[in-house]
Amino acid sequence: MGDNPIVELAEYGQSVWYDNIRRSLITSGELKRLIEVDGLRGVTSNPTIFEKAISGSTDYDAALAQVESVRDEEPGRLFEILAVEDIQKTADLFRSHYDRTDHLDGYVSLEVSPLLAHNTATTVSEAHRLWKLVNRPNLMIKVPGTPEGLPAIEALIASGINVNVTLLFSVGEYEKVANAYISGLESRAASGESLEQVASVASFFVSRIDTKVDHLLEDMIRNDSDTKKQLLCQSLLGKIAIANAKMAYQKFREIFATPRFRALRGKGGRVQRPLWASTGTKNPHYSDILYVSELIGPHTVTTVPPATFLAFHDHGKCHANLEANLEGARMHQTQLGTLGINLNRVTDELLEEGVRLFAQSYESLMHVIEEKRERLQGGKIDRQAFSLGSLQSGVDQAMHELQAKDATRRVWMKDATLWKSEGAHQRVIKNALGWLTIPEQMRDHAEVLVEFANEIKTEGFTHAVLAGMGGSSLCPEVCRTTFGVKDGYPDLHVLDSTHPATISRLESAIDLSRTLFIIASKSGGTTETLSHFKYFWKKVTAQRGEMAGKHFVAISDPGSPLETLAKEHSFRRIFSSPVEIGGRYSALSFFGLVPLALLGVDLNEFLERALRMVHSCSSSVPVSDNAGALLGATLAVLARQGRDKLTFVLSPEIRTFGYWVEQLIAESTGKEGKGIVPIEGEWLGEPVLYRPDRVFVHLNLTSSGTDREAAKLAAIESAGHPVIRINMEELIDLGEEFFRWEFATAIAGVLLGINAFDQPNVQESKDNTKRVLEQFQHTGHLPEQTVVGNFGGLRLFSDKKSTDPLVRQVAAHFSQAREGDYIAVMAYLDRTEASQELLQRIRMHLRDTLRLATSLGFGPRFLHSTGQLHKGGPNRGLFLQITADDDQDLEIPGEGYTFGILKQAQAIGDMQSLAVHQRRALRVHLGLPVEASLKQLLEVIEDAVPKGHAKRAG
C-alpha cells in the first residue's frame, strides 16, 4: 500500500471528491496539486462555500471590481458569472481524469438555486440552462432529493444531464432517488439514446444525523433516571449516522443487482454511486476522520471538506468497513426505536432543515456579493490595512519565506515541524491545533446551545456566574462587555479573582436561588476555579439542598477532574470541549460559546463571521492575501526588528477585546527569551511619548461613527511609527477577530521560532503557590520577602537590603529602566472602579515620564495571561507588584486556608518565580483603607519619577 491514504482509498473502490471550490484554490495551483499528487477525483460546490470565499477573502475582488461590466448586474447574475468560470476551469483540470477513467470520475458539481427545491418544472429548466452555459461533459447538476426533485431527476437523466442528488438522509428517500435514476435511464434507452455518458451520484448526508440524534440521546441521559436507559443512550452516541449509511449501502447493493438494472447495465448504464456527504466530524469528541474511515467500500464516493481531507491524509487508515458488522448497525437502529426516537422523523426534519439552510445560504450569498461590490467600488473601507513605511520590505521578505515554506498549508495540515523539530514540542503542537476547525464543528452545536440558553431563561435565572481563569474567562468577559445582555436573559458575571472583597461583592449582587454557575476549566484542576466552586456550592446547597446541581454547569476537557466532580454533584449540564485546543485558543469552542448563548447573542451569525475569517486564512490563499498570515508575519518581523511593543487602540465599544488578545499574544510568544509584548489599555498620547519599539494596531468599529483616535494615530504614523488598521463594521464581526488573531499568532510563532502553543513558565508560579500554601498549612505562616521599609502604611519588600527612604528606593528601582524595556504593574487588589482609575494614573505617569510601554494586570488573573511573558520572554520587564491587607476574608470550604491566604500565596509565588528568572521586581504592600494607600503610592511614584525623567532613562 502507498504512503498516501487518500490515494489508497481508490484501491478499495472509493473515490475522494473535495467539498470545496474557490478561485484561489484554482489560481494558486493547489487544486492541480491535489489532483496530481493526492489523488483527488472530483469537486462539489454550494452557495455556502462561495459565500465564505467571497466575503472572507480577496479571491473574487478583481472580478467584482470591474465596475463597468458588473455595475448593473443583479447579485444572482454576478454569482453565476463567478461560479460558472470557476466550474469551467475546475472541470478542465479534471478533464483528463474524466477521460482516463471512462467517465467514472473527474466531475464538478454546480447547484441549481436552492430556492427552487420545491419547484419541479423550474428546476428542470434551470438545470438545462446551467448545463448548456457551463458546456462541460464532466459537469454534474445538483438537485435536492425532495419529493418535487424526484421527477426532475428522472427528466434530467433521461435528457442526458449528469445529476448529483443532494440532501438525502433516509434509506427510504434514497430508494426513491435510485429508482428515479433508473427510470430516467429507461426513458433514455427507450428513446434510443446512449447511456454510457450519463452519470449520477446520490449524496447521502452522514454527520448531521449524529448531531441531531446525539442531542436527543443526551437529553435522555440528563433527564431520565433509568440507569439502563442512560447506559443504552450512551452506547448509541455517534453510532446512528454510520448505521444509517450502511443500511443505505445495502439498499444500493440490492437495487443495482435487480434484473431491472442489469438490463440497463447491458446497454451501458452505470450504477448511481452513493456519495457520502457531510463527512466533516461535527462532534469534537469523535475522531476527525470518523465518517471517512467507517464508510470505505466499493462503488462509492466520499466528499470531504478541506480539514477532513488533510486529517485523513495525515492519519487515515484504509479498511473495508462499509459492510462490516451489519448486524450491529441494524441493532443500533432497533435500539434507537426502543428508546422512542423515530429515525424517519429525524431524517424528515433534517431534509426540511437542509432545504431551508441552503436557501438561507443562497440569500446570504446575494447579500455578501452586493456588500463586497460596494466596498470594491469605493463605498466601504478596507478591512485590514498596513502602514509600515521602510519596514515593509522586511515583511515582504518574510511573506516570501512563508510562501516558500508552504506555511499556511502546513498549518492546516497540522504539521508540527513548522514550529519545532524536537519530539516533545511536536507532541504538544499536534495536540493543540483543534482551534483551526472548531468554528465549523461548533456551528452544528449552535442550536443545542440556543435551546440551553432558552431553558435557563424560561426557568427564571436572572444571573449567571462564570468561574474560570485566563482562556476560560477572558472571551466571556469580552462578550459580556461588548454585547451586553439581551432582555430576559441572565446577566453574566465573570469571576477570575481570589480577592475576598471581589467575591463578596459578587455574592451580594446576585440572588443565589436564581443564579447559574458555570465552572470552566480546561484541565479541570485550576485552583482558583475549584475554590470558587467549593465556596458557592456550599452556599447554594444551603438554600437548594439536593437541587443545588441544577444551578451548576461545567465546561472542561473530557475525562478531567472537573468532569468527574460535575457528575458526582449532578450538575445540570457538562459541556466537554475538545482536548486538542489550548485554553487561550478556545474562544470559539464551548468555553466562549456557552456564555455567549446565555447572553442571547446570535450564535449562528457569530460563527458565520468566524468562518469568513477561516476562509480568509485558507491554505489556498497566498500569504500576501491571507489575512491571518499577513498580520502574523507583520507582527513577527516588527518584533524581530525591535518593535515588539504591540500597542492596541480600540474603539470604546470593543475596548475589552484587548483583555483576550493580550493573553493570546503574551502567553503564546513570550518564551525562550523572545516575545511580543501586548500593550492594552494605555491612553493614546502624543508621538513624542513613544520610542522606536512600538507598533500600533487600531481596531475600529466603523458603525460607531466618528473615529475618535484617527487624528492622534495619523500624527503617530507621520512620526514614523507603523500602524495596522483593522475595521469592524458591526459588533458581531468580533467572531472574525477571534480567529484572525489566533491564526496570526500561530504564524508569528513560526517566524519567531517558538512553540506558540505551550506555556512552560505558567506552571512555575502554580508550583510556587502550592509550596507556599503547604508551608502555611504546616507552620501557620506565609514566607515573606524582607521588609526594607515601613513608610506610613506602605511597606516595601525587596531582596535588596536598604535603609533609604521610600521615594529614593522607588526611584532606584525605576532608574534601572533601559531602552526597549516595558513596565508591568501587577496589582493583587480588588478590581474596583476606584482602584482601576488610580492604577491607570500610576501606569500613565510612568509611561509619560519614562516613555516606556506599560501594562496593568490584576492578580491572580494576569498569571494566566501575561505571566508567561514576564518570566519566559525577554528580560525587558520592570515589575511593580502591589499587594494589600484584606479588610475581610472568606473561607474556602474543605481547605486549610482562606481566599485571602490563597491570594497572598499567589503573589509570593509569582515574586519567587520572577526572582528565579532575575527579573527587576519591587513589591509595595498597601495598608487600609486601600484606596487611600493607593493614592499615597501614586504620590510617591510621582515624586520618585518626576517629569523630565525620560531624558535620563535609557
CA atoms of 843 and 856, how far apart (whole Å):
7
**In 37-170, alpha helices (H):** 47-56, 61-64, 67-70, 75-100, 120-134, 149-158
State the residue for C-alpha cell 501586548: 678
- HEC string of 669-738 equals HCECCECCEEECCCCCCCHHHCCCCEEEEEEEEHHHCCCCCHHHHHHHHHCCCCEEEEEECCHHHHHHHH
CA angle at 174 for the pair 173 and 179, rounded to the nearest 5°: 100
C-alpha cell at 383: 478591512
142 is catalytic: yes
**Residue owning grid cell 456550592:** 537
Bond preceding residue 946 cis, omega within 30 of 0? no
Q: What is the DSSP letter of 113?
A: P
Measure the CA–CA gap between 187 and 159, rounded to whole angstroms. 9
The C-alpha atoms of residue 100 and residue 94 are separated, in whole angstroms, by 10
At a CB cut-off of 8 Å and minimum separation 6, what does 75 contact?
A: 365, 366, 367, 369, 370, 373
- Name the one residue in this structure whose C-alpha cell is 532606584: 812
Separation of alpha carbons 227 and 235, rounded Å: 12
Quote the CA–CA distance of 516 and 506 in Å, as a whole number.
13
Query: Using CA atoms, how far apart are residues 791 and 926, in angstroms rounded to an integer?
Result: 10
Using DSSP bridges, classify how beta strands 794-798 and 920-926 pair: parallel, antiparallel or unpaired: antiparallel
- CA distance linking residue 153 with residue 592, whole number of Å: 44
Q: Which of 32, 52, 142, 228 is catalytic?
A: 142
3-state secondary structure 184-226: HHHHHHHCCCCCCCCCEEEEEECHHHHHHHHHHHHHHHHHCCC
Question: Would you call 340 exposed, middle or buried from its count of C-beta atoms within 10 A (0-12, 13-18, 19+)?
Answer: exposed
Exposed, middle or buried by CB within 10 Å (0-12, 13-18, 19+), for 327?
A: exposed
C-alpha pair distances (Å), 516 with each of 18, 175, 494, 551, 602? 43, 48, 12, 5, 20
Residues whose CB falls within 8 Å of the CB of residue 943, separated by 6 or more in sequence, listed in order: 807
Q: Which residues contact 339 (CB under 8 A, 6 or more apart)?
A: 217, 220, 229, 232, 233, 236
Asked if 394 and 641 touch (Cβ cutoff 8 Å), the reply is yes
Q: How far apart are CA 230 and CA 226, in angstroms?
A: 6
CB–CB of 558/579 below 8 Å? yes
Is there a cis peptide before residue 622, judged by omega within 30 degrees of 0? no
| Three-state secondary structure call for residue 389 | helix
CB atoms under 10 Å from CB of 380, counted, come to 15
C-alpha cell at 149: 426533485
How far is CA 40 from its chain centroid? Answer: 28
384-387/723-728 β-pairing = antiparallel
Sign of torsion, CA 763 769 772 773? Answer: negative
> Which grid cell is 575?
459541556
Catalytic residues: 142
